[in-house]
Homo-oligomer: A and B are copies of this chain.
Amino acid sequence: MVDILHRVGVKTPTPEKVYDALTTVEGLSGWWTDDTKGNGEVGDVLRFRFPPGGFDLEVVELRPLERVAWRVVDGPEEWIGTTIDWDLRQDGDYTIVLFKHQGWKEPVEFMHHCSTKWGSFLMSLKSLVETGEGAPAPRDVQISDWH
């Protein structure tokens, strides 16, 4: 099992804004990439595009305010067939976000890059909900020379 794991706490009184940011095109384009298309219902495919390429993700599970799960149906070879899960719970003033990107075959260098990049995008999600302003591509935080 080679997984990417992350956890952030978003200061917000209920998981509603975080859930919306993971399940609507408006929300997703506010922290991940400006160029997000599709519908967020189960069985739909969300299409995320970045300057160097993109990902098509099928929504496989939605449990309102608690859980979102995606399956990668197109994108870089290493991503295809992997799954991305988001689990939310409220803990006092914070919505706790547990993130898992599972099913990588090998811990290749690209996986190291994606792990750091996901952490950075989770901080963008946190910022979007807390301040109204995220850092989606192409205004995302640059972590390296990888394009």
Q: Which residues of A come within 8 Å of B, CB atoms?
A: 1-9, 11, 91-94, 96, 98-100, 107, 109, 111-113, 115-116, 119-120, 122-123, 126, 141, 143-146
Q: Which residues of B contact A11 (CB under 8 A)?
A: 145
**Is the CB–CB distance between A7 and B99 below 8 Å?**
no
A141 to chain B, nearest CB (A): 7
Closest 7 A/B residue pairs (Cβ): A9-B144, A119-B119, A7-B112, A5-B112, A9-B145, A6-B116, A7-B113
Q: How far is the CA of A93 from the CA of B145 in the complex (A)?
A: 9
**Is the CB–CB distance between B92 and A145 below 8 Å?**
yes
**Is the CB–CB distance between B94 and A112 below 8 Å?**
no
Q: How far is the CA of A113 from the CA of B94 in the complex (A)?
A: 14
Q: How far is the CA of A139 from the CA of B59 in the complex (A)?
A: 38
**Is the CB–CB distance between A9 and B143 below 8 Å?**
yes
